[in-house]
């Protein structure tokens, strides 16, 4: 099927092109796009013409290219991420109204934490945990709470791989992580300072879907010297209960869950 | 490039496959997917295998296929829709806290209204204006307000096409629409009952970006017998000012705007 001389499929090359756009660089020239995608200019040119035709890439008035509204629409319409965040958003607003901090919702996906929603605190300088960003599971409170409430096989798979330190405080030893996971299961939440970004503490609780493992993690991110952590936990637990209830009634047992390894 | 015997490109067939997933049917079998996409089973099979490999489609535990988290991530990371809604969301929350009604944010895209964000009123039964849904421009308050503050060439293009009635109250005559557009420009808002969904009134105001035309429409949707319409307009205008200010400081003049015809 439709492979280049290198044997790479059109789909693979399209993924490379679309991956070139991100939060920091949402628009670029064709040659910049080809370079970031690692594709020859002629190949990129041909594919981009077709992607523009379908609205997946758009040409801006200044001639730069950017990800198209059609691309977002195609992905959003059938998206479980969007369904999950639609159910969760009212409860996340409740949390933010109560604690005035960044509030995020994350899932496990392909061995990493993927943030599917975030409400930002307008006075916060945190530049992490943006929507559609990923973090290593062991370097995020959301990741640890999702792992703690994952099946043993998932835990074993994640902990079998070499774990890199993101900050000096990231926990990288599998045995120590297992100890933390047991504690998280017992307490029902995690609050570890500096494991992902030195200056911040993530406080995360599990959201359960119809199954027994966590469907998502609800997370507040606070400055690490914040004294209010004990007060934030009950707010998160309350909202997470609400989201779980909404998930279970929207998605009866036996149907696909939102989690994806 | 990579065309089928019918001359259709891989990208075109992938768009057909991904378009098959939507809010009402987010997961289906391979043969169901092939049927909805209008592709031969063998073609769908081959493409789906490659899409699954890249995480753009996912196989659920029950064997059904659904749109993948990677698809959402790819589209979301570089998305102007997401940037726009991130800026707008805090102001939309303010509106919702004040008026307790569905609040949406929409843009013009490819000759239709595309809803990029929505905060729902939990007690409302409205089943329209969902995120990533589209409406004809002339049959939505958001569309009329976006059209009113569009360049004359855009207005002419939209009004030159045959306009279908979505409800008995949809305005389809170009001359009458032009009269409404002039009124909207003068008043700064629109509130027309039943033009898109009989039981509802959309109240919409423009959000301006760095240019002079509307970058988005902010919209509250209320039951048509709602008496509070005059009170909702100032709430929307206030929030729209805030979003415009945020847009202009995030996106200095001369850069690409969010609007896309």
Q: Are A124 and A156 contained in the same domain?
A: yes
Q: What's the number of domains chain A is made of?
A: 2
Q: Are A124 and A60 contained in the same domain?
A: no
Query: Do A69 and B80 count as a contact with CB atoms less than 8 A apart?
Result: yes
The answer to whether residue A1 scores a pLDDT higher than 70 is: no
Q: Are A44 and A93 contained in the same domain?
A: no
Q: Are A106 and A64 contained in the same domain?
A: no
Q: Which of A75, A100, A115 is the last residue of a domain?
A: A75
**Rounded distance between C-alpha atoms, residue A69 and residue B152, angstroms:** 23
Query: Do A14 and B14 count as a contact with CB atoms less than 8 A apart?
Result: yes
Q: Which residues does chain A have within 8 Å of residue B2's beta carbon, measured at their own beta carbons?
A: 1-2, 10
Q: Which of A75, A101, A129 is the last residue of a domain?
A: A75
Tokens 């790819």 label which residue? Answer: B74
Q: Are A92 and A128 contained in the same domain?
A: yes
Look up the domain containing B22 and give its range.
10-75
Give CA separation, B26 vs A74, A77, B21, B57, in Å.
12, 8, 5, 11
Q: Are B102 and B231 contained in the same domain?
A: yes
Query: Do A75 and B66 count as a contact with CB atoms less than 8 A apart?
Result: no
Query: Do B62 and A107 count as a contact with CB atoms less than 8 A apart?
Result: no
Residue A176 placed within a domain: yes
Cross-chain CB nearest to B72 (options A60, A75, A257): A75
pLDDT digits (tens, 9 = 90+) for A65-94: 999 988 988 888 778 777 788 889 889 988
Please name the residue of chain B whose CA is at the shortest distance from the CA of residue A257.
B60
Query: Do A56 and B11 count as a contact with CB atoms less than 8 A apart?
Result: yes
Q: Are A131 and A246 contained in the same domain?
A: yes
Q: Are A116 and A14 contained in the same domain?
A: no
1-40 of A, contacting B, C-beta below 8 A: 1-2, 9-12, 14-15, 18-23, 25-27
Q: Are A116 and A139 contained in the same domain?
A: yes
Q: Which of A25, A60, A75 is the last residue of a domain?
A: A75
As for the ipTM of the complex, it is: 0.79
A259 pLDDT tier (thresholds 50, 70, 90): very low
Q: Are A169 and A48 contained in the same domain?
A: no
CATH at residue A32:
1.10.10.10
Q: Which residues does chain A have within 8 Å of residue B255's beta carbon, measured at their own beta carbons?
A: 62
Q: Are B102 and B222 contained in the same domain?
A: yes
Coil/strand/helix, residue A83: helix
Residue B256 placed within a domain: no
Residue B221 placed within a domain: yes
Q: What is the largest CA-CA distance in chain A?
A: 59
Q: Are A82 and A205 contained in the same domain?
A: yes
Give CA separation, A2 vs A29, A55, B68, B155, B252, in Å.
26, 21, 22, 41, 42
Assess contact for A189 and A202: CB atoms under 8 A. Answer: no
- pLDDT in single tens digits along all 261 residues of chain B: 456 666 789 999 999 999 999 888 889 999 999 999 999 999 999 999 999 999 999 998 889 999 998 898 888 877 877 778 888 988 998 888 888 888 999 999 989 999 998 887 766 677 778 888 899 999 999 999 999 999 999 999 999 999 999 999 999 999 999 999 999 999 999 999 999 999 999 999 999 987 778 999 999 999 988 778 888 999 999 999 999 998 888 765 444 444 443
Residue B171 placed within a domain: yes
Residue B32 placed within a domain: yes
Please check whether residue A83 touches B, CB under 8 A. yes
């Amino acid at each position: 099927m439709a492979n280049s001389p290198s044997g790479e499929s059109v789909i693979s090359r399209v993924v490379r092109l679309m991956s070139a756009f991100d939060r920091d660089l949402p628009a670029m020239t064709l040659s910049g796009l080809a370079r970031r995608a690692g594709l020859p200019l002629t190949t990129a040119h041909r594919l981009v013409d077709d992607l523009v035709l379908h609205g997946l890439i758009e040409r801006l008035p200044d001639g730069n290219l950017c990800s198209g509204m059609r691309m977002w629409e195609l992905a959003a319409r059938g998206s479980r991420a969007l369904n999950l965040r639609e159910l969760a958003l009212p409860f996340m607003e409740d949390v933010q109204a109560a604690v005035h901090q960044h509030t995020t919702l994350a899932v496990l996906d392909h061995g990493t934490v993927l943030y599917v929603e975030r409400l930002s605190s307008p006075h916060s300088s945190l530049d992490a945990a943006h929507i559609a960003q990923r973090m290593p599971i062991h370097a995020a409170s959301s990741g640890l709470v999702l792992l703690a409430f994952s099946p043993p096989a998932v835990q074993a798979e994640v902990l079998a791989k070499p774990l890199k330190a993101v900050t000096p405080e990231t926990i990288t030893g599998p045995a120590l992580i297992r100890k933390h996971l047991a504690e998280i299961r017992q307490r029902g939440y995690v609050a570890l300072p500096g494991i992902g970004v030195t200056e911040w503490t993530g406080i995360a609780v599990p959201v359960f879907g119809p199954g027994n493992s966590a469907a998502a993690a609800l997370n507040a991110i606070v400055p690490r010297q914040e004294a209010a952590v004990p007060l934030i936990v009950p707010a998160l637990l309350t909202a997470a209960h609400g989201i779980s209830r909404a998930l279970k009634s929207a998605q009866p047992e036996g149907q696909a869950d939102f989690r994806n390894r």
